[in-house]
Amino acid sequence: MKVIASLILAAFATVANAQERDWSAPQKPFTIYGNTHYVGTAGISAILVTSPQGHILVDGTTAKGSEVVAANIRTLGYKLADVKYILSSHSHEDHAGGVSALQKLTGATVLAGSDNVETMRTGVSPKIDPQFGSLSNYPGSAKVRGVKDGEAIKLGPIAVTAHSTPGHTAGGTTWSWQSCEAGKCMNVVFVDSVTAVSADSYRFTDHPEVVAQLRSSFATVDGLTCDIAIAAHPEVNDLWGRQQRAAKEGSAAYIDSNGCKTIVEAGRKRLETRLASEKR
């Protein structure tokens, strides 16, 4: 697992250097498992969970990427008007920038961790955000409601549970649900970013409360029943490698009971490395 975590840590570094155009680049949609579909861009994950009673979208990618997400939903044969909820992992532009446009296209209610609701409404991150000063503003959304830790969002047969995972942002949220295929159900987890990323002037050692939040989030994600892990940045859990394998293996390529744990291990290693560097 340490080797895998090292590879994921390297992927984090790649993500940190990614350009906005990569985060907004087109990506063909595909089914991960059962009613769980990837509809995001080439650099930012967005997931559509479908049912006859309506659909739930997790994240909206960038403002420009919203066009990709909308087109991908249509390509899969689903109507935008049938998307009833848009769930937010965290309130940075690369994941939430497209939510406003998608909300207007769908009429959906936006749900976010309570401490991120104001940012989702305004598109402006607060000063307590570790990345404050280096973040882009984005269009705010209407009809944003806060969710509590452990709250289940239900729509027909779908039940998506919110897990509070603060640190990267104050209201960061990881989402979990079950998807079934050929009579076999899997626990799917959309893992919010659990990484120590900040503006150049920010020191995590000066903010022990944020360090405590990150460590608490590690424990939360580590404790989830996780058959299929989907990271907010697809490279982090080698989604593209799994997609290539799926051509031969089918949906089994996405199943990995250690998926959440390896993401957490890499996040923990990144935090400890950062804290050590700040003490030098």
pLDDT in tens, 191-223: 999 999 999 999 999 999 999 999 999 999 999
pLDDT, tens digit (0-9, with 9 covering 90-100), for 163-186: 999 999 999 999 999 999 999 999
Please say if the pLDDT value at position 8 is more than 70: no
Please say if the pLDDT value at position 2 is more than 70: no
Which is more confidently placed, 176 or 10?
176
DSSP codes joined into one string, the chain = -HHHHHHHHHHHHHHHT--HHHHH-----EEEETTEEE---SSS--EEE--TT-EEEE----TTHHHHHHHHHHHTT--GGGEEEEE-S--SHHHHTTHHHHHHHH-PEEEEEGGGHHHHHHS---TTSTTTTSPPP----SSEEEE-TT-EEEETTEEEEEEE--SSSTT-EEEEEEEEETTEEEEEEEEPP------TT--GGG-HHHHHHHHHHHHHHHTS--SEEEESSGGGGTHHHHHHHHHHHGGGGG--TTHHHHHHHHHHHHHHHHHHHHT-
Please say if the pLDDT value at position 121 is more than 70: yes
What percent of the chain clears pLDDT 90, i.e. is strictly above it? 91
Query: Counting beta carbons within 10 angstroms of the beta carbon of residue 124, is it exposed (0 to 12), middle (13 to 18) or buried (19 or more)?
Result: middle
Which is more confidently placed, 248 or 15?
248
How many domains does the chain contain in total? Answer: 1
- What is the domain-level CATH number for residue 249? 3.60.15.10
Boundaries of domain holding 152 = 2-278
Please say if the pLDDT value at position 12 is more than 90: no
Strands 83-87, 55-58: pairing kind: parallel
The pLDDT value recorded for residue 1 is: 54
CA 233, CA 89: separation in Å to the nearest integer?
Answer: 11
Report if pTM > 0.75. yes
280 falls in which pLDDT band (50, 70, 90)? confident
